[in-house]
Each structure stands twice: as C-alpha cells, then as structure tokens.
Amino acid sequence: MRHPLKALCVKLVMFLSSCMPLFILLSFSYWAFPPKGYGSIAYFAFKSFINISILVSLGSSVCLLRCKACRTLVGYTGAQRTNTETLLYVSLHLIPLFLLQCENAGIGPFFVFMLFLGGIYIQGNMFHINPYLAWLGYQGYQTSEGVMIITNIPFKKIKQFSTCGLKGTFLFNGIFFARGTDNILD
C-alpha cells in the first residue's frame, strides 16, 4: 500500500475490530450498571466512543468479509500457523474492565490503556490476532516470504494453493486476506 495514511487507517480499523468484544461488553455493562457520574459529559463521550467503535468494527468486518478477491498470491512457501496469542490478547481486555470498575479511576486510564494497547497492536503487526475474526473461523498463517495470510481455509489446503495461487486482497504491506469461498480447488 503506497499511501501511509490509508495504511494507518486500515490498521486502526483492524485494531478497533479486534476490540469489538470488549466494546460490546462495556456497552452492556454500562447500560446495566451505570457509573456514579452517569449524567456527566465524560460519560457521554465515553459511551459515544464505545458505540461509534462498535459501528466501525461491524462496518469494517462486513466490508472485509464481503470484499472481492482482486489479487492472487502465488509461489509462497513454508506457510505455518502463527502463534495463537488470541487468548492472551483477549485476557488483556479484562484490564480496562477492572480500571473502569474502580471508583477513583474514571475513564482517563481506560483511554490511556487503549492507546497503549493500540500502539502495541499496530507496531507489533499483531493483525492476525483478532478475536472477532477467530470467532468467525479465520486464522493467521506466516509464509517464508514474510506475508501474513489471514483466511478461513484449513491449513492442509493452504499448502495446496501455493502452486495454483490463493485469491484474496492485500490489506496493506504483508497482510493478505483470503476467503474460502473465493478459493475452491477443482
């Protein structure tokens, strides 16, 4: 991807998508148990941020899952399943829940923690760790050439596609998204 701003936007949307379970949990939690400063502007801003993040996550996920396969990845070698850090990443989502339950903390530490978590997610190229996509059956595979393939195709078939080509979309440099419905072996 030649446009750095476009790449950054895609990375931010991928991060928000990975946090969607947390945002939904927070939304239900604050709806059922409103905090002390329920009528404050900070609470309204926080609730607006959560709702907008859920909508952006859902919209981006729908776009990603419905995107047309416009590129073919051919000749990759050594596709291996990436480490499964999804559970660890999901457990990091518990920290903001505890931060928000502390009466003295407020929502400031939540935003600081989300900035910190987003920085690690983006700088560490952890885009294959997405609980929402994992729930839909998508997994990450790393090739010898350094390309990360995110797909719902089983591992045994991924190796078969290395010769005939895997159809999908490059989200940005090194991240290739392929759907199983676009890749059917004859």
Write the CB contacts of 85 (distance below 8 Å, at least 6 apart in sequence). 126, 129
Contact present, 18 and 131 (Cβ < 8 Å): yes
The SS3 assignment for 85 reads coil
pLDDT in tens, 149-185: 888 888 888 877 777 788 888 887 788 888 888 887 6
- CA dist 31 and 47 (Å) reads 9
As beta bridge partners, residue 176 has 149, 170
- CA dist 7 and 2 (Å) reads 8
- What's the pTM value of the predicted model, to 2 decimals? 0.73
What residue segments make up the domains of the chain, in order of their start?
A: 4-182
The SS3 assignment for 91 reads helix
pLDDT in tens, 59-118: 888 887 777 777 777 777 777 777 656 566 666 667 766 666 665 556 777 778 888 888
